[in-house]
Amino acid sequence: MEFSKGDSFILKGKEAKIIDVLGEGGQGEVYLVSYNNHHYAFKYYKKTPSEDFIYNLKMNISKGSPSPDFLWPKEMAEFDDDTYGYLMDLRPKNYVSFISYLTGTNRFKNQTTFLNWCIELVKSFKLLHERGYSYQD
């Protein structure tokens, strides 16, 4: 299944409308969608994930985000052709990619900021795993 601007699908009895493409990667595409009078990111998997992956995704959605600091799946979409996707909040306007720091595209303003960033990252993943979550993206 492919989506284009203006396409729509039904999620929990309500229409989700594709507004634009936000990005694409090896696993799938991410779209800007309008759903229930709000804008969300919709990640759509190109290939059917494994049953274990789908189960884990459903469990993560049912548990909810371990912290407001995580962008987390909110609603699962299942399609007739055995493909899947999910809605999540959009990245905040001030979002800067983790990868941009690893590649040197962005730099920390000083060593203290870098160390604080590292500590917060470790604390976030510690929280994730302490609560029994498994993030597989």
Q: What is the mean pLDDT of residues 108-137?
A: 87
Tell me what pLDDT residue 68 has.
83
CB contact set of 58 (below 8 Å; sequence gap of 6+): 76
d(CA 31, CA 5): 9
Q: What is the DSSP string of 66-110?
A: SSTTS--EEEEEE-TTS-EEEEEPPPPTT---HHHHHTTSS--SS
Nearest to 115, CA basis, from 97, 99, 128, 101: 101
Q: In the predicted model, is pLDDT for residue 135 greater than 70?
A: no
Quick: pLDDT tens for 45-74. Answer: 988 889 999 999 999 999 998 888 888 999
| 29 and 46 Cβ atoms separated by less than 8 Å | yes
For the chain, count helices (H), then strands (E): 3, 6
Residue in the structure block whose two tokens are 């999620």: 11
pTM: 0.84
